[in-house]
């Protein structure tokens, strides 16, 4: 169980990675190497979930952790949601489990989502429209959203440009158009009781993301995937004002480390009294930890 008095921050956006070499037959290692170069990540092989837990524990930071299920669109095998949940349960002092299900899996995905929430303690689900090849407001995905909403889960969506496939031939097949946050305005209207998190500063659609988060009470923004020193001025202004209770610290581990993000966050113009909410309290409320 997360001890809010002990931890100094909650990272809402950390990726689960499998042991080295697991994907040597399907191209995933090449994708990871390209992403590491894009983010200038300081590792040769991505850390395992156990290594991730140790890294965060040593820094007194809790983390929401999840895989990404993009098997259909990319051909890369997914990391089993159950395995991630089981490792998180063994490290429940520091890890909070989310899962990922490609909405194209239809009724099978709906059944899996309900089972994961009920039997494995999954708190939410990560969607990556660009990697999964769908618009967030596609009715095809609605049965899965309905299950998540009925079970009280959180839906976290990648938005904006992505480092996935950046610089690779044809962007490795990744289509940026799917991750415009404006499509999540429809989802927020159609599922008003489901908590929705828009991941990342949503370049080149930052203002669309801010508009949706301001307009829809159930929509939040995580600040992962970018060093804070590169945040657009309008994002900082909204963090300091009308969205101060709706923005969440996220790193995008292992591409960006939480300690790097937090160090850079200290250098930008956020009001001091708002920092505890952004790095910990807003997420704690959203996750039901306080």
Q: What percent of the chain has pLDDT over 90?
A: 79
Is the confidence at residue 184, as pLDDT, over 70?
Answer: yes
Q: Is residue 258 part of a domain?
A: yes
If you count DSSP H runs as helices and E runs as strands, how many of each does the chain have, helices first? Answer: 13, 8
Residue 196 CA to residue 177 CA, distance in Å, equals 19
Q: What is the pTM of this model?
A: 0.92
Specify if 214 maps to a domain: yes
Q: Residue 158's pLDDT is what?
A: 97
Within-domain flag for 3: no
116: left (phi over 0), alpha (psi -120 to 50) or beta: alpha
| First-to-final CA distance of the chain | 12
Residues 6+ apart with CB under 8 A from 10: 2, 61, 62, 63, 64, 96, 248, 249, 279, 280, 283, 284, 287, 289
Tens digit of pLDDT for each residue in 51-92?
999 999 999 999 999 999 988 888 878 889 999 999 999 999
The whole-number pLDDT of residue 21 equals: 41
Q: Where are the beta strands (DSSP E) in 115-216?
A: 124-127, 154-158, 195-199
The more confidently predicted of residues 48 and 38 is 48
Q: Establish if 78 belongs to a structural domain.
A: yes
pLDDT (average), residues 33-56: 77
36 band by pLDDT with thresholds 50, 70 and 90: low
For 135-179, how does the pLDDT look when each residue is reduced to its tens digit (9 = 90+)? 999 999 999 999 999 999 999 999 998 877 677 788 777 889 999
Mean pLDDT, residues 124-140 taken together: 97
What's the confidence (pLDDT) of residue 17?
Answer: 79
Q: Which pLDDT belongs to residue 290?
A: 83
Task: Decide if 132 is inside a domain.
Answer: yes
- Kindly report the CATH number assigned to the domain that includes residue 21: 3.20.20.140
- Residue 142 placed within a domain: yes
Burial class of residue 3, CB neighbours in 10 A (0-12, 13-18, 19+): exposed
Look at residue 4 and tell me if it is in a domain.
no
**In the chain, how many domains are there?**
1
CA 119, chain centre distance (Å): 22
pLDDT-derived band at 94 (thresholds 50, 70, 90) equals very high
| Domain interval for residue 89 | 9-286
Residue written as token pair 């070499």 = 21
Q: How confident is the model at residue 28 (pLDDT cuts 50, 70, 90)?
A: low
The mean of the pLDDT values for the chain is 92
Q: What is the pLDDT of residue 42?
A: 66
User: Which of 20-29, 44-53, 107-116, 167-176 bottoms out in mean pLDDT, i.e. has the lowest?
Assistant: 20-29
């Amino acid at each position: 169980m997360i001890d809010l008095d002990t931890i100094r921050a909650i990272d809402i956006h950390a990726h689960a990675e499998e042991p080295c070499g697991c994907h040597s037959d399907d191209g995933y290692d090449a994708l990871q190497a390209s992403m590491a170069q894009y983010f200038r990540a300081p590792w040769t092989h991505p850390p395992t979930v156990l290594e991730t837990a140790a890294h965060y524990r040593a820094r007194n930071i809790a983390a929401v952790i999840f895989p990404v299920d993009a098997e259909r669109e990319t051909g890369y095998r997914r990391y089993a949601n159950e395995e991630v949940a089981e490792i998180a349960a063994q490290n429940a002092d520091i890890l909070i489990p989310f899962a990922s299900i490609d909405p194209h899996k239809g009724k099978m995905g709906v059944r899996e989502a309900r089972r994961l929430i009920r039997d494995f303690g999954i708190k939410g689900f990560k969607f990556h429209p660009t990697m999964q090849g769908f618009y967030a407001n596609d009715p095809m995905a609605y049965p899965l959203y309905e299950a998540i909403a009925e079970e009280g889960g959180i839906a976290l969506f990648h938005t904006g440009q992505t480092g996935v496939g950046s610089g690779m031939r044809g962007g490795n097949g990744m289509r940026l158009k799917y991750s415009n946050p404006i499509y999540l305005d429809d989802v927020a209207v159609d599922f008003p009781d489901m908590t929705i998190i828009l991941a990342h500063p949503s370049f080149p659609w930052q203002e669309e993301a801010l508009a949706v988060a301001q307009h829809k009470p159930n929509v939040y923004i995580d600040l992962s995937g970018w060093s804070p020193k590169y945040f657009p001025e309008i994002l900082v202004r909204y963090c300091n004002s009308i969205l101060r209770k709706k923005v969440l610290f996220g790193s995008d581990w292992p591409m960006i480390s939480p300690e790097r993000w937090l160090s850079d966050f200290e250098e930008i113009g956020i009001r001091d009294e708002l920092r505890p909410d952004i790095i910990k309290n807003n997420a704690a409320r959203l996750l039901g930890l306080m």
